[in-house]
Structure 1
Amino acid sequence: MKRLQIKTAQNVNINFTLADVGQRLFAFGVDNVVKFAYLYFAIEILDFSMFKTALEGDSWSIKAIDVLIFLPITFYSLYSELLLDGQTVGKKLFHLKVINIDGFKPSTTDFIIRWFLRMVDFNLFTLLFVYVASLGLDGEIVLLMLLFFFGKMIGFFLVLFTDNNQRFGDIIANTVVIYLKDEVKFSETILENISNTYVPTYPNVIKLSDNDARIIKNTFRSAKKFNDFKTLIKLRSKILEVTGIKSVHKSDTEFIDVVLKDYNFYTQNM
């Protein structure tokens, strides 16, 4: 498997294993099963045909119902990655995650760009397929099939042959897909999961370096695991000493957790 090495401003290297084309293809397959399951449920169980029968002759209303049915499928990958922090159902199942190429959480704009450019990765030649089909070239069925096939293969070949296993949407959005079950687990890096609405508490955390944040996180995780309260007290005291922060948290655990999240917030948004 290919690896992505990121060197921070403090010359600390962070290594990620990139998801290969097979892993991404299986995740893509699972996501399509989810989409088809929804479509079957919407058409067969919710019985939208009843509305179409009632609106027979009103072509605009029928088209509106079709659009309504397909909206969740159209935006599936976008809202899934936004809500599940860089994962879809398929990616979660195969332990994959979308991150910024600098190692941080992608912005909402990044997710929108990579979603929108699925049109190039998966559907560019498919659009040509629809155009050619509309011309009524019945004798060109082989051409139609080739267009449809290659329309679904652009993203596949880009992931296969680019240095960082990126499809076109990833390249433009500066994102990569990583494999989380790695020798260096995602939880062992300085990264923290923070929401888009997260409000930081301690601006002085920017006095810390990436290496400081890594040491704090590793020590914090170990101390919590073994209920080592003495180490937590020492860690809290050291953070207060280095940053000059005045803590508003009574619990050492809550304080250190917020410090790590604040550090991620400021370093991702600077």
Structure 2
Amino acid sequence: MSELQINTTQNVKIKFKAAGAGERLLAFIIDLAIKIGYLVVVANVFDAFKNMDQWSQIGINTILSLPVMFYTFALESFLQGQTLGKRALKIQVVKIDGYQASISDYAVRWFFRIVDIYVFGLGFFVMMFNKKTQRLGDMAAGTAVIALKDKVTINHTILEDLKEDYRPTYPNVIKLSDNDARIIKDTFTVARASRDYQTLIKLRKKLVEVVDIKEVKQKTDIEFIDAILKDYNYYTQDM
């Protein structure tokens, strides 16, 4: 399993383990089994419409086939880069530049499946000889698939240890996504440990702008960013 380095928007390098070609193939097989199972059920349902005219049958068949056709695109879009197969194997699609993958990125990956999968399984062979185990769709979308199996502690996640009587300061933090919070915490942790005050200043300014904060109530950048992370956890812990 190769190491994947992602450069965040704050120019901080975060290291992940790229999902292996075998893991991705197994996830694909699980997804394929789910789609085949669905088609078997649909085939039995479709028997009820066999006495309808040809055009009606074509229309119904097309509608019932849509979930299979858009399975990967839809699930990756709604499950933040995972299908049921990827979730079972604990792997996930991410952007190489540190941003959260967008619907357009998932659409590009989905479109390139025509080449990666249906042209002699070309994507699998491309992954075999690619350091980041990217298929053609990943290269086109600027994405990669990472493994989520690494043992982590609370310090390696977006979670913060909140006291029972904690009172948040900035409700606007709900504008952030989990991926935003992860990038913020990773950047904050590295910058604080290395005493990179310039990065802390830039991060504080960016947060004030993105979260739309009118007044910073903490005395230092470190206290402010720490409050942002704690507030995010406070407002999203029950979501």
Q: Give TM-score, length-normalised by structure 1.
A: 0.61
Amino acid at match of 2:47: S
Q: 1:78 aligns with which of 73, 78, 87?
A: 73
Following TM superposition, by how much is the alpha carbon of 1:172 offset from its aligned partner in structure 2, in angstroms? 0.3
| Cα gap change, 1:104 to 1:13, in 2 (>3 Å) | same
- Segments of 5+ residues of structure 2 without an aligned counterpart are 160-173, 193-215
Tell me the equivalent position of 1:132. none
Amino acid at match of 2:130: T
Q: Do the aligned residues in 1 keep the contact of 2:9 with 2:97 (CA within 8 Å)?
A: no
SS at match of 1:157: helix
Q: How far apart are the structure 2 equivalents of 1:163 and 1:37? A: 34
SS at match of 1:48: helix
Q: How far apart are the structure 1 equivalents of 2:68 and 2:102? A: 22
Following TM superposition, by how much is the alpha carbon of 1:257 offset from its aligned partner in structure 2, in angstroms? 2.6
- Segments of 5+ residues of structure 1 without an aligned counterpart are 126-149, 192-197, 217-237, 261-270
SS at match of 2:14: strand
Tell me the equivalent position of 2:39. 39
SS at match of 2:56: helix
Instruction: Output the aligned Cα RMSD.
Output: 3.7
Q: Do the aligned residues in 2 keep the contact of 1:3 with 1:15 (CA within 8 Å)?
A: yes
Amino acid at match of 1:64: G
Q: How far apart are the structure 1 equivalents of 2:149 and 2:108? A: 27
Q: 2:218 aligns with which of 222, 240, 249?
A: 240
Q: Which has the larger radius of gyration?
A: 1
1:170-203 CA-to-partner distances (Å, cap 9, x unmatched) read 1000000001112568982569xxxxxx635xxx
Tell me the equivalent position of 1:171. 139
Following TM superposition, by how much is the alpha carbon of 1:19 offset from its aligned partner in structure 2, in angstroms? 0.6
SS at match of 2:150: coil
Q: How far apart are the structure 1 equivalents of 2:149 and 2:98? A: 16
| Cα gap change, 1:168 to 1:63, in 2 (>3 Å) | same
1:141-189 CA-to-partner distances (Å, cap 9, x unmatched) read xxxxxxxxx2xx2111011112211111110000000011125689825
Aligned residue pairs: how many?
A: 193
Tell me the equivalent position of 1:2. 2
Q: How far apart are the structure 1 equivalents of 2:155 and 2:66? A: 34
Tell me the equivalent position of 1:212. 188
Tell me the equivalent position of 1:87. 82
Tell me the equivalent position of 2:170. none
- Equivalences for residues 226-237 of structure 1 within 5 A: none
Q: Do the aligned residues in 1 keep the contact of 2:14 with 2:186 (CA within 8 Å)?
A: no
Matched, 1:199 2:199: no
State the percentage of identical aligned residues.
37
Q: How far apart are the structure 2 equivalents of 1:115 and 1:188? A: 31
Following TM superposition, by how much is the alpha carbon of 1:2 offset from its aligned partner in structure 2, in angstroms? 0.7
